Amino acid sequence: MSKLYIVPTPIGNLQDITLRALEVLKSVDIVLAEDTRTSKFLLQHYGIEKRILSHHQHNEHQALKEVIRLLKEGTSIALVSDAGTPGISDPGYLLIRECVREEVPVECLPGATAFVPALVMSGIPCDRFVFEGFLPQKKGRHTRLLALKEEDRTIVFYESPHRLVKLLEECCEYFGPERIASVSRELTKMFEENKRGTVEELKIYFSQKTVKGEIVVVVSGKE
């Protein structure tokens, strides 16, 4: 039996990968990738040639048995997402859970994840926080926001560019327009932006511009 390696990859700047991550990617037999094109580009950048298999939210249920079989037969596998640490709002949890159930060794390397730099740079208390990731788009969204209304810890969300203003509008509605927040986008990239203010100020600012890139929203907890 071999091992499943969880390998974080850069969230933007390709230099933000650890030496250990590169060594693991060089040593494994197979790389499971959320998007094979994205991962192939990263591997080629570092001169690594590997067999790459697709493993994303639409096929991970069907792929579980085959991946477990390969691991039990002695195949070493690295799991990567498009950016950041697999399992954090990315595919990975189901496979890791199945490995634990089947007593297949799992090793997670430390590395990049978007919410940590966004939280640290926000200027909002980060000694206690709750990570919400992406809110449900429809069913359950109201219930989740209503519960978070009373949360006194800092709250961290992931959001897509075209839904950012909607989230900020909801923050105004559920948390109050004066709640302090921070929006970080394009982290580690050339056009990185970190904007701080009240949720009302941020809503106005981002409603007046075209928003691109992966986004982290940090909102202060209820006082």
Q: What percent of the chain has pLDDT over 70?
A: 100
142 and 199 part of one domain: yes
pLDDT reported for residue 58: 85
pLDDT of residue 1: 65
Residue 66 has pLDDT above 80, yes or no: yes
Residue 140 and residue 102 share a domain:
no
Centre a 10 Å sphere on the Cβ of residue 72 and count the other Cβ atoms it contains.
14
Same domain, 129 and 170: yes
Q: What share of the chain is helix, strand, coil (3-state, %, to 5)?
A: 35, 20, 45
| Out of 24-38, 59-73, 170-184, least confident range | 59-73
Number of domains composing the chain: 2
Which residue segment(s) compose the domain that 122 sits in?
115-219
**What is the pTM assigned to this prediction?**
0.93
d(CA 16, CA 21): 10
Between 185 and 56, the more confident residue is 185
Residue whose token pair is 């560019």: 161
CATH code: domain of residue 123? 3.30.950.10
Do residue 104 and residue 122 come from a single domain?
A: no
Average pLDDT across the chain, whole number: 96
- In a shared domain, residues 101 and 139: no
* Same structural domain, 127 and 103: no
- Judged against a pLDDT cut of 90, whether residue 56 lies above it is answered with no
Task: Give the integer Cα–Cα distance in Å for 82 and 38.
Answer: 6
> Are residues 207 and 132 located together in one domain of the fold?
yes
